[in-house]
Amino acid sequence: MNESNYTMHEPAPAYYPNTVKPPMNTLAVVSLITGVLGGMVLPVVLGHLALVRIGKSGERGRSAAIIGLVLGYLQIAVFVIAFWAGLLDA
């Protein structure tokens, strides 16, 4: 074999997968914000709507929707306990 005719091949280029993230669900963000600000019922409604849309569309924001739900339900629970405690004292 004649070495002068032998050519080296370049390695194949590396494959980089598409790393574009899906968009953040707006309802999930609003649920989180209203939960932090004390919206009580609004973060619960928006959180449930966001989870449904996230399941259908594949958007990001599931954790934000869940945190908004938890904050909203906690605020409702505190309100109900305070209301009943007020009625019992009267």
Can you tell me whether residue 64 is helix, strand or coil?
helix
pLDDT in tens, 9-44: 777 777 777 788 999 999 999 999 999 999 989 999
Better-scored residue on pLDDT, 49 or 19: 49
Q: What is the pTM of this model?
A: 0.75
Is the pLDDT assigned to residue 4 strictly greater than 60?
no
CA–CA separation, 30 and 40 (whole Å): 13
Least-confidence region, from 12-16, 49-53, 85-89 = 12-16
CA–CA separation, 66 and 56 (whole Å): 16
Select from 40, 37, 42 the least CA-distant residue to 83: 40
Q: Hey, what are 77's tokens? A: 């629970």
The DSSP code for 25 is: P
